[in-house]
Structure 1
């Protein structure tokens, strides 16, 4: 019986990541905007998944399925787009990644003296345990808001942090979220690092804060247990095929030019926008958490993995909003601060309009929707990720703390600049 149990455990471990058998990954580097646009078109044409979005003279990381591999390479060569192999066998590399993370987990120091461990990627349960712990330790500052439950019944937790219980209407509000995509493993750690710092800093004197460590709990959990590259939610009520292909990309699900560009009506696609705007409990929860306070929110930052870029509206057509100058100026301030606190190996952040920087127009995004509602400064902040010379599919866990620290430094500067520009005029 014991021998059978061992064999069963081996079989289960060996079967993990089986869906990526035969897949390859490539660094691709466009040299101009024409090549960038071509790469953007490959998302639809070949079903390419960019784990890190390319930019002009900046590598992107493309995940390529076996059946389109030859056509993808031929197209790159036809358009003269530079490319380089990253992983010849995606499944095998994911198995190696698992070993690295599991080894680190066995050696992890865990939560100690009330500080969140930043030496490994956090399981959903660890994130929620830490939120609950901080709320218990700082009941006069920290309130947990239960913004609803996911399709699979997990709580969607927001954290409100204030010295005045949000009753001082002269204080501008800063909103930070992570875990939009299931696979964005590093972003909850950054949000929790912000939470930890806010309980011990003067950043509560002049600002109120709303933090959401994991917008998409179901997807986040599923990316740990079943599919490392999972993006969407896990709902099965959006389409006749949703039982076979669950989930909606919530960053295409918001009610701003919903399902008009950069989306799919096919539930098996990663950019499936859902059956209607705000169809997902996760996107509706974010909407509900912010709408009553929208007139006081001056800065919203949605953390994503990866790409070393700070992107702002409008994402659906590349046009600029009335706050474009402020978006660019404050974005550069955030980027410069991150760079001054960064490691030499990390690339400098690119700042700009989302559609123009990435070459991909996409509707129904969270930052566009929040900007439309009235938040003057909304950004997707894509943290550093995989660079040439690395083989794995995650930033080495030893860098999590560094990324959290430098990102928080940028957020602090962004909050101050946002308050200077919009804190008083919007009261």
Structure 2
């Protein structure tokens, strides 16, 4: 009986990530803007999934299906774009990630004395347990708001952190969100670290804060249980094919040049924008509930993984907003602060317009929508990875705490700069 149990466990473990059997991953590095634009067209033509977007003289990491290997490589060679294989077998690399997580989980003591473990990637239930605990411990500072449930019935939660219960209208608001994409496992840890620090620091004296730990709980959960690279929500009501291909890309679902560029009308595509703007419960409920605070928000940072990029509007056409100088200046301040607190393992952040830096135009994004609503400083902050790393598709969990600390240092500087520039104009 024990032998059969062992064999069954082995079979289940071996079958995990089976959908990525035969996939390969490639480092791709464009050396000029022409090559970067070519890569953008290749992404659109073949639907290539870049886990880390390339920039000029900066590697991107592309996931490529078995049937696309030959055409993808041919396109790169035809345009002289440098590439090299990251993983011959994507499934095997995912197994490496699993081993690292399991090793860390065996060593972790979990939440202890109100301290969130920053030595491993967190399950959704662990994240919710922690924010519930903090709200109980600091009822005069932290309020959990749940405007409704996700498509699969999980509570959507965000936190209001304030010494004045948001009643002081002169205090600017800083908004930080995470977990737009299911697979961005490291981003909630950064938000939880920020939450912990806010309860212990003076950053509540002059600012109110809104933190969204997981904007897409269904997708986040599914990436743990079924598909490590899952991006979208899990809705099945957007299209006749949604039953077969569930979900909508949250970061293409906002009402700003919705579904005009960098999106797809096909539900099976990762950049499917949905049947209409704000079609997803996740985007509609958050948009509806946060609306009353928009006039006071001076800084909106949306955390993603990965690439060491700080990107700002406009993403649909690469044009610059009226706040372009402030966006660039504050973005550089955040990047410089992170660099001063960073490890040499991480590449330095690149700051700039999202379409110009990545060579890919995208519509319906969260930061563009927030900027259109009047938030002066909106950034997509793509956390770093090991640029030439081949140990797996995510950072070794040993780096999580360091990454949380350096990112928080950047957020603090960004908040102060934002308040200096726009604190009096948003009230």
What TM-score does the superposition give when structure 1 sets the normalisation length? 0.99
SS at match of 2:233: coil
Partner residue in 2 for 1:155 = 155
1:47-86 matches, within 5 Å, as: 47-86=47-86
Partner residue in 2 for 1:278 = 278
CA distances 1:330-358 after superposition (whole Å, capped 9, x unpaired)? 00000000000000111110000000000
1:26-425 matches, within 5 Å, as: 26-425=26-425
Distance in 2 separating the partners of 1:144 and 1:373: 24
Distance in 2 separating the partners of 1:303 and 1:88: 29
Distance in 1 separating the partners of 2:48 and 2:386: 17
Partner residue in 1 for 2:15 = 15
CA distances 1:238-285 after superposition (whole Å, capped 9, x unpaired)? 010001100000100000000000000000000000000000011112
In the TM superposition, residue 6 of structure 1 has moved relative to its aligned partner by: 3.5
SS at match of 1:241: helix
In the TM superposition, residue 391 of structure 1 has moved relative to its aligned partner by: 3.0
In the TM superposition, residue 2 of structure 1 has moved relative to its aligned partner by: 4.8
In the TM superposition, residue 97 of structure 1 has moved relative to its aligned partner by: 1.3
CA distances 1:342-376 after superposition (whole Å, capped 9, x unpaired)? 00111110000000000000000000000001100
Q: Is the 8 A contact 1:86 1:391 kept in 2?
A: no
SS at match of 1:56: coil
Distance in 1 separating the partners of 2:391 and 2:65: 18
Distance in 1 separating the partners of 2:90 and 2:390: 13
In the TM superposition, residue 290 of structure 1 has moved relative to its aligned partner by: 1.9
CA distances 1:115-152 after superposition (whole Å, capped 9, x unpaired)? 11100000000000000000000000000000211110
In the TM superposition, residue 410 of structure 1 has moved relative to its aligned partner by: 0.3
In the TM superposition, residue 4 of structure 1 has moved relative to its aligned partner by: 3.9
Q: Is the 8 A contact 1:171 1:296 kept in 2?
A: yes
Q: Is the 8 A contact 1:161 1:210 kept in 2?
A: yes
In the TM superposition, residue 390 of structure 1 has moved relative to its aligned partner by: 2.3
Distance in 2 separating the partners of 1:332 and 1:345: 20
Q: Is the 8 A contact 1:386 1:393 kept in 2?
A: no
In the TM superposition, residue 329 of structure 1 has moved relative to its aligned partner by: 0.5
SS at match of 1:101: helix
CA distances 1:163-222 after superposition (whole Å, capped 9, x unpaired)? 000000000000001101000000000000000000000000000000000000000000
Distance in 2 separating the partners of 1:231 and 1:191: 19
In the TM superposition, residue 288 of structure 1 has moved relative to its aligned partner by: 1.8
| RMSD, aligned α-carbons | 0.9
Q: Which runs of 5+ in 2 are unaligned?
A: none
Distance in 2 separating the partners of 1:168 and 1:330: 25
Q: Is the 8 A contact 1:87 1:391 kept in 2?
A: no
In the TM superposition, residue 112 of structure 1 has moved relative to its aligned partner by: 1.8
In the TM superposition, residue 9 of structure 1 has moved relative to its aligned partner by: 2.6
In the TM superposition, residue 53 of structure 1 has moved relative to its aligned partner by: 0.3
Q: Is the 8 A contact 2:176 2:212 kept in 1?
A: yes
Distance in 2 separating the partners of 1:43 and 1:343: 31
Size of the alignment, in residue pairs? 427
Distance in 1 separating the partners of 2:183 and 2:273: 18
Distance in 1 separating the partners of 2:203 and 2:303: 20
Q: Is the 8 A contact 2:96 2:391 kept in 1?
A: no
